[in-house]
Amino acid sequence: MEAAAEPGNLAGVRHIILVLSGKGGVGKSTISTELALALRHAGKKVGILDVDLCGPSIPRMLRAQGRAVHQCDSGWVPVFVDQEQSISLMSVGFLLEKPDEAVVWRGPKKNALIKQFVSDVAWGQLDYLVVDTPPGTSDEHMATVDALRPYSPLGALVVTTPQAVSVGDVRRELTFCRKTGLRVVGLVENMSGFVCPHCAECTNVFSRGGGEELARHAGVPFLAGRAREWGAAPAGPAAGLRGGNGARAPSTPQRERQRGVHWMQAVPTGS
Partner 1 sequence: MEEVPHDCPGAGSAQAGRGTSCQGCPNQRLCASGAGAAPDPAIEEIKEKMKTVKHKILVLSGKGGVGKSTFSAHLAHGLAEDENTQVALLDIDICGPSIPKIMGLEGEQFLEDNLGVMSVGFLLSSPDDAVIWRGPKKNGMIKQFLRDVDWGEVDYLVVDTPPGTSDEHLSIVQYLAATRIDGAVIITTPQEVSLQDVRKEISFCRKVKLPIIGVVENMSSFVCPNCKKESQIFPPTTGGAEVMCQDLKTPLLGRVPLDPHIGKSCDRGQSFMIDAPDSPATLAYRSIIQRIREFCRLHQPKEEQLVGS
Q: Is 29 in the site for partner 1 (CB under 8 A)?
A: yes
Q: Is residue 241 within 8 Å of residue 30, measured between CB atoms?
A: yes
The annotation status of 12 as a binding-site residue, yes or no, is no
Task: Pick the closest to residue 270 from 122, 147, 148, 127 (CA basis).
Answer: 127
Size of the site for partner 1 (CB under 8 A): 65
At position 145, the amino acid (one-letter code) is V
Q: How far is the CB of 221 from partner 1 (least distance, A)?
A: 18
The annotation status of 136 as a binding-site residue, yes or no, is no
Which range touches partner 1 (CB under 8 A), out of 37-45, 56-64, 225-233, 257-265? 56-64
Q: Is 3 in the site for partner 1 (CB under 8 A)?
A: no
Q: Is 12 in the site for partner 1 (CB under 8 A)?
A: no
Which range touches partner 1 (CB under 8 A), out of 36-44, 149-157, 169-177, 258-266? 169-177
- Long-range pairs of 98-101 with CB within 8 A, sequence gap ≥ 24: 99/65, 99/66
The annotation status of 22 as a binding-site residue, yes or no, is yes
Q: Is 207 in the site for partner 1 (CB under 8 A)?
A: yes
Q: Exactly one of 63, 149, 172, 257 binds partner 1 (CB under 8 A); which one?
A: 172
Q: Is residue 51 within 8 Å of residue 131, measured between CB atoms?
A: yes
Q: Exactly one of 43, 83, 181, 245 binds partner 1 (CB under 8 A); which one?
A: 245
Q: Indicate the SS3 state at residue 79.
A: strand
Helix segments in the chain, DSSP class H: 28-41, 58-61, 107-119, 139-148, 164-180, 210-218, 224-226, 253-266
Cβ proximity to partner 1: between 9 and 111 the closer is: 111
Q: How far is the CB of 190 from partner 1 (least distance, A)?
A: 10
Residues 119-148: x where in contact with partner 1 by CB under 8 A, - otherwise, as a string: ---------------xxxxxx-xxx-----
Cross-strand partners of 187: 158, 222
User: Cα-flanking dihedrals φ and ψ of residue 75, to 5°?
Assistant: 130, -145
The annotation status of 202 as a binding-site residue, yes or no, is no
At position 112, the amino acid (one-letter code) is A
User: Cα-flanking dihedrals φ and ψ of residue 125, to 5°?
Assistant: -90, 120
Helix (H) or strand (E) holding 128: strand 126-132
Residues that bind partner 1 (CB under 8 A): 22-26, 29, 54-55, 57, 60-61, 99-112, 134-139, 141-143, 161, 163-165, 168-169, 171-176, 179, 194, 196-199, 201, 203-207, 235-237, 243-245, 247
Q: Which residue numbers belong to the known binding site?
A: 22-29, 196, 199
Residues comprising the binding site for ATP?
22-29
